Amino acid sequence: MDNQIYIVIIEDELEVMEALLGDLEFIEPNFPLEAANNAEEAVSVMEQIEADGHKVGLLLCDHVLPGKNGIDLLIELQNHPTLKHSKKVLVTGQAGLEDTVQAINKAHLDYYIAKPWTKEELQEVVTEKLTDYVIENKLNLLQYMSALNATRLAEALRENGLTDT
C-alpha cells in the first residue's frame, strides 16, 4: 500500500524494544512499526521509508543510545526538510533536567514518557500524537478515523468547511 505512515522506535536495549513493540501491536495494521538500535541506523531507516514513498509520523526515541544520544538526534532532525514534521516522543528514564529542557526548546519535543511506562499511557500518547500528525499535515482524515481519535478528526473535518457534492 502506498503512503503509509510509519512509527519508528529507536531503542538499544532488546528487552525494552520488545516491550514497546508488544504494547504497540494494536496500531501496527494501520501504522507499521520500524525499529532502530541507534541514531545512525534510525536516520537511514527513516530515509528509506521516505524513499519508498511513505511518511514517518511518529518517533519514539530513547535518550541514552550508543553513539549520538536521542535528544541530539531529535534536535538534528529539526533541520531535516521532511522529518521535522514527524511527531517526537522521548521514552526514557535517564534524561536529566538540562537534556530535557534542550529537547523541548530545540527539538520541539511533543511528549515525554518516563520509564517505566504503562501500556495505557503509551497507547494513548501514540494515538493522540498520530492524530495531531494527520491533522497538521492535512492528510485524508477519513482514512484514519477508525484507527485514531475519531472525535478530534471529526472536529478537524468540521473546521475544514466540508461541502456537499
Partner 1 sequence: MKLTKNQWIGLVLGALGFILPFFWEINGLSAAGHMGLSIFFLAAVFWMLEPVPIYATSMLVILLQVLFLSSEGIYLNDVTEAYSPDGYTAFMGTLANPIIILFLGGFVLADAAVKYNLDLNITRILLKPFGNQPKYILLGLMSVTALLSAFMSNTATTAMMMTVIIPIIARMKPTDPLRIGLALSVPFAANIGGIATPIGTPPNAVVIGSLANQGISIPFGNWMALAVPLVLIALLILWLVLLFMYKPEAKTIEIDMTGKFNLSKKALFLYAVFAFTVILWVTESVHGVNSAIIAMIPVVFLTLTGVTSKEDIRKLPWEVLWLVAGGISLGISMKSTGLAEWIVTSIDWGSFGTITMILVFSAVAIAMSNFLSNTVTATLLAPLAISLAVSGVAGEGFNLVIISLVIGVSASFAMVLPISTPPNAIAISTGFIETKHMAKPGILIGIFGLLLVTIYALFYWPLLIGN
CB-CB neighbours of 16 under 10 Å: 17
Q: Does 30 bind partner 1 (CB under 8 A)?
A: no
The residue (of 30 and 102) whose beta carbon lies closer to partner 1 is: 30
Fill in the per-residue mask, 77 to 96: x = in contact with partner 1 (CB under 8 A), - = not in contact.
Answer: --------------------
**Residue 101, SS3?**
helix
The residue (of 14 and 142) whose beta carbon lies closer to partner 1 is: 142
Q: Does 157 bind partner 1 (CB under 8 A)?
A: yes
CA gap 43, 113 in Å, rounded? 22
- Residue list 127-146, contact with partner 1 (CB under 8 A): 142-143, 145-146
Pick from 86, 90, 96, 85: nearest CA to 71? 90
Q: How far apart are the first and last CA of the chain?
A: 28
Region near partner 1 per CB under 8 A, out of 67-75, 106-114, 129-137, 153-161: 153-161
Burial tier of 112 (Cβ tally within 10 Å: 0-12, 13-18, 19+): middle
The residue (of 101 and 154) whose beta carbon lies closer to partner 1 is: 154
- Site for partner 1, rule CB under 8 A: 142-143, 145-147, 150-151, 154-155, 157-159, 161-165
